[in-house]
Structures are given as C-alpha cells and as structure tokens.
Amino acid sequence: MKLIFEYEEQTTGYLSDENISIGLPNELIRNELPLPNVSEIEVIRHYTNLSKKNFGVDLGFYPLGSCTMKYNPKINEDVAALEGFRNLHPLSKENCIQGSLQLMWELEQYLKEITGMDTFSLQPAAGAQGELLGLMIAKVYFKQKNKKRAKVIIPDSAHGTNPATAAMCKYETIVIPSDIRGNIDLQKFKQSLNDEIAVVMLTNPNTLGLFEENILEVCDLAHNNGTLMYCDGANMNALLGITRPGDQGFDMIHLNLHKSFSTPHGGGGPGAGVLGVKSFLSDYLPLPRIIKQNNKYIFDNTKEKSVGKIRSFYGNFGMLVRACSYIMSWGSNIRKVSEHAVLNANYLLSLLKEVYDLPYNRKCAHEFVISSEKFGEKSALNIAKRLLDYGFHPPTIYFPLIVQEALMIEPTETESKETLDRFAFVLRSIAHELRENPQVVNGAPYTTPVGRLDEITAARKPNLRWAPPK
C-alpha cells in the first residue's frame, strides 16, 4: 500500500474541491504548502483502506495477556453518546451538570463495593497514573508522620510500571523473587521488611495468573511493619464479586476501567486508572472530590492534605460513563464475569498444557503463562507471528520475565468454547509444525499486508517519519 505522499503529483478529470468557495481573500491563499496533492475522495479512501487493516476485538480473538481484551458491549457506546454526556463542557457549573456528577458519584459507590475501598478518585487517566498517584499519596502520608521511608518492595513478576512508578517517586525498589508455586517468596519478603519500607506493590492475581496464596499474611506482616499495601488492580477481572482487595488487606488499589470494566483500548487509549483508598488515606486524594450534600452533587475543594491535581478536570469522563454503564448492566451478577473469565482461562490451559510447558502447575485465575522453551530460542516470538496467519491476535510474549519463552494468554469471559477450541487447535498445530517443519513457523507471517517485520532493526535504526526524497 502506498503512503499518502506517494500518490500521483497530478490527477485530472475530477471536480476538484478547489472549486468550493470558502471566501478566503486571495492574498491568504497559498500554493506552496508541502502537502500531498490528492483529492478529498482519495484521502478518504486511503485512510479507510488503512483502517481496514486494523485488528481489534470486534474482528477476532485477542488473547493479549494482562490486557483483558474483552468485548466492549455496544450499549456502553449508546450511553456515552447521549447528548448530555457527549456535549458536556468541563467548565460547566455544578448545578448544570447534576446528572454527570451523579454518574461519577455512583460509579465511585460501585467501585467501593467491588474493591472494599472507602474512597475513590476518578482522575487518573491510566493504570500507571493511578500507581503514580498511589505512591505520591504514600510519600505525603509518611512525610506528615515524619517517617523517612525510602524503599518499595516489588516482586520479580510485577508489571514494569511498578518499579518505573517507584523510580518516578524517587523510591528505591527492592525486588523479591517468586517461590516455586509462583507466589511472592514469603521468607525473602520477611527478611526484606524493615522500617525503611514505605510500600509493598503487589498484583493479585499476579502476572503469572496465580492468586497470591499468602496474601493475608503478606498484608499483616506489612501493616505490623507500618508499611502500606498497594494493589496493582490490572488483574481485577479475576476477582469481581468473588474477593475484595480491601478485605485482603490492601490500603490502595488502582483499577484499569479499560480492562475489567470494558471501556475501549488497544489503540492508545484513552484509559482510566481510577484509584481507591482506605479511609485513613482519603484526604490525600486529588481535588476536586465529588460529594453528595442535601441531595445535590458538588465539587469539594476543601481537603488540605490533598496531593493536588493529577489530571485536568475530572479524568476521562467518557470512559467513566462506559464503565458505569457496564457495571449497571451486570448489577449484582457481576460475579459471573470473573467466574467465567477464570473458567475460560482454565479450560484453555487444560487444552494446551500437554503441548507446551506449564512453569507453575496450578489452577490459574483469569490468565495463564505457558512456556515454549522446549521449541528453542525465539520460539515464543515465532509462534506469535505464526498465529497471525491463522487470524488470531498473538498473546503477550516474553512477559513475565521470570518465565523463559513465555506466552501469556488471557481469553476473557466473552469468548465462546468454540473460539477457545479453535485457538487451542491452532496452537497445537503450530507446535506440530515446530517439530516437523520449523522453518514454516520461523518465517511467518505470510498472509499479513507486510509479511514478517524486522523489529530488531526497527528498534536499532528507527525510521519514524516520512521525509521527502532528496
């Protein structure tokens, strides 16, 4: 496919939109702009054709581990498109936008009930920003207690954003290895706890798709040490209505509304990484907070301990509307979402564990990690590329880092048994190809618009934008 710059310099015979008068004075009309010389219909066709090459969950199975690429119900879009939500001005006065404030307030109530937290801020625009807010709060909390705590404990299976957030907040990261069952190593954890540890950041279930079996003990040990427990809620899709991080002992959690609560993602956002905290941390949340007073919803700007603002206005409001729509659609049945997500993941795992290796032989939560190490170096990469030929989005690969040739698969609750069967059949066929005819897999994909990309050269010698030929 051509770049827009590569279309013919001159085309003739069509009714040009230059004939449309927009009433610009002649002296303001320029001819020397370095823009592609294409007509409006050519521009439309170019970008429409490009869009047809996109892949999304509305086109096919998208088992990208840790990303929860579930179907996003279209009713969410209907609700978000309502005039009053769609044309909302962020500077509107409180009394003109009571419905929108009510929606945000009610969403907070639902999220409190789901997580066991006491207060939420809907401002953070992504999970990583929720983490940043969480550690900013921890920093202020300890400062006001006059405690110098400069370190954060993070297990070696964590998302890379956890140590990155710690570094952003000038915390030193202490990495704790995982034990043979895939839990945080309790002995090493105990040895590392001391009065320098401000926060423990844990993902539960962790990135191996395994529920932390010692979570209650870990939280107790941390609290007895005066340390805060932060939950990376990226994997909340395993827990909805089943267990609450607040009851497990966490003091803070961010939720990726774009994962568990079905707001669209995958093309760069926008996301929503809302943060919930226990009551003793509520006053540190960003302003304004939305509170209900005499049956009216108002902005509260009075909390002096607040860490300040973390996002302009009130977060990505359109995403809050969609998440609220999703939660209200499910109501008290929301537990079924997670039950089904866990069932689907365990079913798919049962179809694959004889062909690929399972590094931790346990029942999984909403996702699982298998290894293709026995098929040799770069096999996970090659399998991922070969899956494209069969019309599937590949799983996450080479993460978590503690599993060699890792394939991290998250089917989500919205896929049918038949889709999971087809996917397992294809992964088993690729394993067969790797044994019988590995060069077929190693040269894949063959059916995509651009064939096999060389991402190593792309990273070493990036060519980021079109430049005019010299």
Partner 1 sequence: MIEEIRFSKEHEWVVIEEGLARIGISDFAQKQLGDIVSVELPKIGSKFKQMQPMAIIDSIKASSDIYCPLSGEVVEINEGLLEHPEWINQSPYELGWIAKINPSDIKEFGSMMTKEQYENFVGKIK
What does the binding site for partner 1 look like in residue numbers (CB under 8 A)? 160, 377-378, 398, 401, 455-456, 459-460
The DSSP bridge partners found for residue 232 are 203, 254
Of the pair 59, 164, the CB lying nearest partner 1 is at 164
Which candidate, 63, 109, 130, 76, places its Cα nearest to that of 341?
Answer: 63
Q: Which amino acid is at 184?
A: I
Q: Minimum distance from CB of 381 to partner 1 (Å)?
A: 8
Of the pair 144, 191, the CB lying nearest partner 1 is at 191
Q: Which amino acid is at 231?
A: C
Whether the CA torsion 30, 32, 34, 38 is positive or negative: it is: positive
Q: Which two tokens stand for residue 429?
A: 């066929």
Of the pair 58, 377, the CB lying nearest partner 1 is at 377
Are the C-beta atoms of residues 101 and 297 closer than 8 Å to each other? Answer: yes
Are the C-beta atoms of residues 256 and 127 closer than 8 Å to each other? Answer: yes
- Give the C-alpha separation, 372 to 367, whole Å: 17
Of the pair 58, 172, the CB lying nearest partner 1 is at 172
Q: Minimum distance from CB of 195 to partner 1 (Å)?
A: 23
Which candidate, 402, 406, 403, places its Cα nearest to that of 381?
Answer: 406
Strands 368-371 and 296-300: unpaired
Q: Minimum distance from CB of 405 to partner 1 (Å)?
A: 10
Q: Minimum distance from CB of 67 to partner 1 (Å)?
A: 18
Q: Minimum distance from CB of 380 to partner 1 (Å)?
A: 10
Of the pair 339, 373, the CB lying nearest partner 1 is at 373
Q: Minimum distance from CB of 163 to partner 1 (Å)?
A: 10
Residue located via tokens 């419905």: 99
- Give the C-alpha separation, 149 to 169, whole Å: 12
Are the C-beta atoms of residues 138 and 199 closer than 8 Å to each other? Answer: yes
Q: Minimum distance from CB of 456 to partner 1 (Å)?
A: 5
Of the pair 144, 457, the CB lying nearest partner 1 is at 457
Of the pair 300, 377, the CB lying nearest partner 1 is at 377
CA angle 53, 56, 61 (to 5 degrees): 115
Residue located via tokens 């969950």: 57
